[in-house]
Structure 1
């Protein structure tokens, strides 16, 4: 995914002006935070279930981003927006419960992943606003991230396995490009709106994932999952 992102972004840099110099440090910091996010996410999935890791890491980030935006970006948030963010985060995290317990072997790594999401989101929100060109900022930051992550992979493993042809490579490359487009939209939105609200609306992807899993993967929509989806949707409506 990162190799595909790096190739596309490095090519794109030749066709657009560089972002304002004030944002370069933020782009580099964000790229480093994205690497940390990748490492924590992979570690979480090694010892935990996707159905628990994903809701915890994604559900915890909107509240953390709201706090970070208040501390570092000088943002204020209305009570209604705060309520909406709380409903979205709470609804998403509730999907990780098994009965009444939240027993997750890799809980520290899942929460750490959420902290990395919050950190790079706040950094990118500030960087995009300073850049004067959110799209150019996204391209330069993603190019740095796309180069750094494969280098870390090579350092931890080797170059041969990274570039060896195997099943799923094309799917992963396409996934990387889709994620690049999705995050470019997020950064553009953060340039125009409060970071916490954008993050909460972004994480409603969990709602769509549950519906797609039901429609195309034969997954069950339990009463708990449907109630969580209603809570998430209600929070999104309040924010809107």
Structure 2
């Protein structure tokens, strides 16, 4: 921990934050595909949250330092924000095809996260970095528009799905900024991470079990759901943990933008794992997303 926090604000810390943000992008795309895959999105999320909550709980109780008193209200705020985010995300995945709604969610998030970082953390960005953000958003929203026009699945619920995707993106920006504040408010970042995962992971599953109990009762393959839950829980620990740590080591806005290269990985996953088509036009749009991220990273 001492070595890691010693990297804050240094070139080495900047480079590590870059690696962590890109790692979070890949893992977040996998996490989204796991939630949208075989099982009902609510049930998948319940299993994955429960898994990472149970994994983190012993570390929170017995390994990391106990949170400082001022951290408990911060954890409370984080739980409310993430609960709203999960509700919005769950309804979005129910209503819309993964490769349509995911780019909208991830495109809305970084723009507002950058604005939030400017207000909360007094971060600034060069003109060329704003160009990079524009290029990235052009690719993300271009991908969403292309999917909106040409995709044939779940057309009847596409408009409400897109509206929910925008709402989810706003919550992504909110939790990115808030969690960055939270992980910087404690002396030991692993205290925030382990307690966040323990509290967050054990809050949502009981709510799903109560309010979505009919879907729970219809589960006919508990071993498969458990495997998905454990896999998703481990992926979530790596994904969310990486991006939170990146926001402590370096600029919040840059980390948020780099994470949105997850849209590229999501499209590839949708093609390979979910059987959704990826044509040359979409490949060009995905290249714009990657180019925008590169411009933001290397023009700072």
In the superposition, the TM-score normalised over structure 1's length comes to 0.89
**2:8 match:** none
Does 1:195 pair with 2:242?
Answer: no
How far did residue 123 of structure 1 move? 0.4
**2:192 match:** 137
Does 1:50 pair with 2:111?
Answer: no
**Structure 1 pair 212/150, CA: closer, same or farther in 2 (3 Å)?**
closer
1:15 pairs, out of 50, 60, 63, with: 63
2:159 pairs, out of 93, 101, 104, with: 104
Q: Distance in 1 between matches of 2:64 and 2:148?
A: 52
State whether residues 99 and 147 of structure 2, in contact with CA within 8 Å, keep that contact through their aligned partners in structure 1.
no
**1:81 match:** 129
How far did residue 199 of structure 1 move? 0.9
State whether residues 35 and 149 of structure 1, in contact with CA within 8 Å, keep that contact through their aligned partners in structure 2.
yes
**1:71 match:** 119
Unmatched runs of 5 consecutive residues or more in structure 2 = 1-47, 151-157
Q: Distance in 2 between matches of 1:184 and 1:81?
A: 25
How far did residue 79 of structure 1 move? 2.1
Aligned residues between the structures: 240
How far did residue 139 of structure 1 move? 1.2
Residues 171-218 of structure 1 deviation map (CA, whole Å, 9 limit, x = unaligned): 222112211111111111000112121011111012123345556666
State whether residues 136 and 288 of structure 2, in contact with CA within 8 Å, keep that contact through their aligned partners in structure 1.
yes
State whether residues 99 and 270 of structure 2, in contact with CA within 8 Å, keep that contact through their aligned partners in structure 1.
no
**Structure 1 pair 211/75, CA: closer, same or farther in 2 (3 Å)?**
same
**2:283 match:** 226
**1:37 match:** 85
SS of the residue 2:134 aligns to:
helix
RMSD: 2.6
Structure number with the bigger relative contact order (C-alpha 8 A, sep ≥ 6) is 2
Unmatched runs of 5 consecutive residues or more in structure 1 = none
SS of the residue 1:221 aligns to:
coil
SS of the residue 1:150 aligns to:
helix
